[in-house]
Each structure stands twice: as structure tokens, then as C-alpha cells.
Amino acid sequence: MHIVKACGWLAFVALFAISCGGESKGGASQSGGAKQEIALFPFAEGEKAGYIDQTGRVAIPAKFDAALEFSDGLAAVLVGEDYGYIDQSGEIVVKPAYVMVGPFSEGMACVMIGEKWGFIDTAGRLVIPPKYDMPIGDGVYPSSFSDGLAAAPVGEKWGFIDKTGKMVVPLQFEWAYDFSEGLASVTKDGLTGYIDKSGKFVIEPRFQGGASFHEGLASVVIDAKVGFIDKAGKVVIEPKFDWAGDFSEGLAMASVGEKIGFIDVNGGFAIAPKFDVPPFEVLDFMKFSEGLAAVYVAGKELHEGRVGFIDKNGKWAIEPKFEFAMPFNRGLARGSENGKLVYVDKSGKYVFREK
């Protein structure tokens, strides 16, 4: 059984260590005095990385050792052995000085200094000193600010800090996710429940596991099966699945045995479970975005499995041909084909192919 956390930013750095880091969340440009969102996507050219726009045109030349996603108008880039941040023009605005970093969220980014984590602002100022023990790896990512708070571990206990670094929800949890839709999933005494921003339990800890809320529902583990609860803690989809993802565009990935389909908010399969469980642990990519979802089809041999995209009727929109692919974002999806980075539009047309 597995609960998918929908926060896959760092999980895919290893997959595209040189070529890219994640789908763009949009930079910013000035037009007529107004700030407008633009879309920039990491790409690879030889051993360097830069950014393309939605047409595949190079917007920022490949001059970095790795290029990650834009968030709050800034993107983390690797220069030598250290990460810094650039703006949408490609100018370095936060000097490379960090071994590991997180994306900007609400004007703050989590950065690793020595063996501890702290937070910087968009000017690169260290606002919250490094004193937190983020357990990065195996599907675990650095905390981000959400609703003004961030999950923060010290030793083996988690609490929540505000943007001044004050611990506003005391250290008491064995695990904590960032806030989503006003609630945070936390584990206390081996059981998972949900707290509000004051630290009060809104849903008492009684589950064996629980993901964050998305579209008003959260997946929880009850007797080794996955179901869904609403924000009142009521079980609205009975626990009968082996795996389940977050709801997105009204549907959520769910598996029964070795097959994956998509359920609606009533818990019925809107798309029958006929796709295969992929051989990689992180399933965040299997969600609907811009009307399409990536799914995996196994081959006779492990290396022969491929990812394609389906529509909400379960029909192929793009035939399975990628070793891996990310959800569509601003009209493009990033994938790996024959070991090379590619971007395609929703018709399956290639916008970019790594040479």
C-alpha cells in the first residue's frame, strides 16, 4: 500500500540531473508596466541546461549544470556544485551557494547550509537560520510555505514555523506534511490526523497514513487499504484500493491489485483499472492535468515498459512511447524517449527533442 504525496519537485532531479528539474510554474516579465506570467521549461544541450518557451525556442541559453522549475518567478540552477536562483531573464539573482534547495513558495525557499536547512527570501537573504533536519530522499521533499506556515523538523519531531522562524505549532509530531486547503496531515503516536493552523486537531489521528487534501478530499489508510475522507473526517470513499493518488480535475488514480484506473468523487471507476503499476516508486505523475493523464503500460521486459497519455474517456491521446513523462503544464509535457529529453504538445507533436 502506498499513499502518494502530490509534491514531486525534488523527486525527479535524479531523472533529469543535467537536463532539467521540473515543469515550469511560470516566470514573470514586464509588459506595459504589468507583471505577466510566462512559461519557461528546462531543456538540455550536451552537458548543459537552459530554458525554452512554449514554442521550443531557446529563451535562456544552456549554460547551467542543471536547471529546475520556475516558482515565484525564480528557478534554481546548478553552477558547479552549488545551487543558486535565476530570474526569467536568466540573470543570477541568488548567488550559487547551496548543496540542495527547494522551490520558492510564498516568497521563501528552503535551502541546505552544512547539514541543516533554513529559508531564504527572493533577494537571497537568509531569513530563517539553518537549524532544521529535513529528511530528504525516498519521495520526501524539502518543506515549502503554504498558508503562511511550513512544516519544520528538529531532531525526530515536527512542528510548524511562520515566516519569522517562530515555532507556532510546537514540535510534537513524528511526521508532518505542509498545509493544503487549510489543513495539514500529521502523525502523532503512530496515527495520522489533520490539524488547522492553530495546531488543533480538526480530524483526530486515527488513520494508518494520510495524504494532503486536494479538491476537498484526502486519501487515508484504514486496515491496509486506501479510501478518502472529507474535511469533516467522514469516510466518503470506502477503503478498498491498494494505491491511490490525489484528486485532480475530478479524478484520482487508484489501483486494485496490479492494475491502475481512475476513480471519480463517488469512488467508482470512471476509467477502468487496465493500466499497469510502473516500476518506479513515485506515482505523482499519474494524475489528470489539462485534460490528460500519463499512464504506464508494461512490456515483456522491465525496460520495455512505456508511458503514454489518456483522455478522460480512457482513450489514448498520445500512444505510450516514453520511458517516463510528467503531467501537462501550460500545454506541454516533458518526457524521456530513448534516454533523451523531449517536450510534446497535447496532440503529441514534438516541440523539443534533446540532440
Q: pLDDT, tens digit, for every residue of 79-109?
A: 999 999 999 999 999 999 999 999 999 999 9
C-alpha cell, 338? 530513448
Mean pLDDT of 322-328: 94
pLDDT of 37 reads 59
pLDDT of 282 reads 55
Q: pLDDT, tens digit, for every residue of 100-152?
A: 999 999 999 999 999 999 999 999 999 999 999 987 655 567 899 999 999 99
Greater pLDDT, 342 or 34 = 342
Asked whether the beta carbons of 250 and 215 are under 8 A apart, the reply is yes
* Cβ neighbourhood burial of 14 (10 Å; 0-12, 13-18, 19+): exposed
d(CA 247, CA 264): 8
Q: pLDDT, tens digit, for every residue of 42-69?
A: 999 999 999 999 999 999 999 999 999 9
- Average pLDDT, whole number, for the chain? 88
d(CA 69, CA 8): 11
Cell numbers 467522514 label which residue? 234
d(CA 117, CA 286): 30
pLDDT of 57 reads 96
CATH (residue range 1-145): 2.40.128
- Residue 11's pLDDT band, with cuts at 50, 70 and 90, is very low
In sequence order, the 6+-apart residues with CB closer than 8 A to the CB of 118 are 110, 111, 126, 127, 128, 129, 130, 131, 132
pLDDT of 120 reads 97
Q: pLDDT, tens digit, for every residue of 216-244?
A: 999 999 999 999 999 999 999 999 999 99
pTM: 0.87
Worst-scoring range by mean pLDDT, 6-15, 41-50, 189-198?
6-15
d(CA 297, CA 275): 6
Mean pLDDT of 166-178: 97
Q: Where are the domains of the chain?
A: 1-145, 147-224, 280-355
C-alpha cell, 295? 499512464
pLDDT of 88 reads 96
In total, the chain counts a number of residues equal to 355
Partners of 10 in beta bridges: none
